[in-house]
């Protein structure tokens, strides 16, 4: 007689916990504007940086505008004083690692907290090399 009641109580408890567990599994919301300044080393003539034949250091202000997001997938535009380009990306299952691509390179990002995103970018081809990191802060 206790077994059916025990089973019912376990089922009721698991259903009561389901909304909390689902909330914990929600994807972080990346939409909005993020701003920061890159710390870069570049060679060649990259889109956002001053060119040069030899490797040189560069700092450029960037705005990452995440225009849309559905679940783990998102899209937007990366803007510097020199140019802009579309970006698309995904959030990994750990909900902190983010992978993003633009037209000619890719970034591995880490969501530090709700308003801080470390963005590390790489681009390499025969004419251009870029290695850069930007600490983006969500703008109000």
pLDDT, position 129: 94
pLDDT, position 3: 56
Asked whether 61 and 72 are in contact (CB, 8 A), the reply is: no
What pLDDT digit, counting tens, does each position of 84-130 carry? 999 999 999 999 999 999 999 999 999 999 999 999 999 999 999 99
Q: Which residue has the higher pLDDT, 49 or 119?
A: 119
Is 5 within the bounds of a domain? no
- Short-list 123, 19, 115, 31, CA closest to 76: 31
Q: Which residue has the higher pLDDT, 1 or 72?
A: 72
Is 122 within the bounds of a domain? yes
What pLDDT digit, counting tens, does each position of 62-97 carry? 999 999 999 999 999 999 999 999 999 999 999 999
Is 125 within the bounds of a domain? yes
Is 27 within the bounds of a domain? no
pTM attached to this predicted model: 0.79
Number of other residues whose CB lies within 10 A of the CB of residue 81: 10
Is 18 within the bounds of a domain? no
pLDDT, position 8: 42
pLDDT, position 24: 59
Cα separation, 66 vs 77, in Å, equals 7
Question: In this structure, what CATH number is given to the domain that contains residue 79?
Answer: 2.40.160.90
Is 17 within the bounds of a domain? no
Domain encompassing residue 64 = 32-138
**Domain total of the chain:** 1
Whether residue 10 is predicted with pLDDT greater than 50 in this model: the reply is no
Is 12 within the bounds of a domain? no
């Amino acid at each position: 007689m206790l077994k059916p009641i025990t089973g019912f109580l376990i089922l009721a408890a698991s259903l009561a916990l389901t909304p909390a567990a689902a909330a914990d599994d929600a994807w972080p919301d990346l939409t909005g504007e993020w701003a920061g300044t890159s710390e870069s080393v570049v060679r060649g003539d990259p889109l956002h940086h001053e060119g040069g034949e030899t490797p040189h250091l560069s700092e450029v202000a960037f705005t990452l505008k995440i225009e849309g997001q559905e679940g783990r997938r998102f899209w937007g535009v990366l803007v510097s004083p020199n140019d802009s380009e579309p970006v698309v990306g995904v959030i990994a299952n750990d909900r902190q690692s983010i992978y993003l691509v633009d037209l000619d390179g890719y970034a591995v990002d880490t969501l530090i907290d709700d308003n801080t995103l470390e963005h590390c970018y790489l681009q390499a081809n025969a004419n251009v090399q870029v290695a850069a990191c930007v600490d983006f802060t969500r703008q109000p």
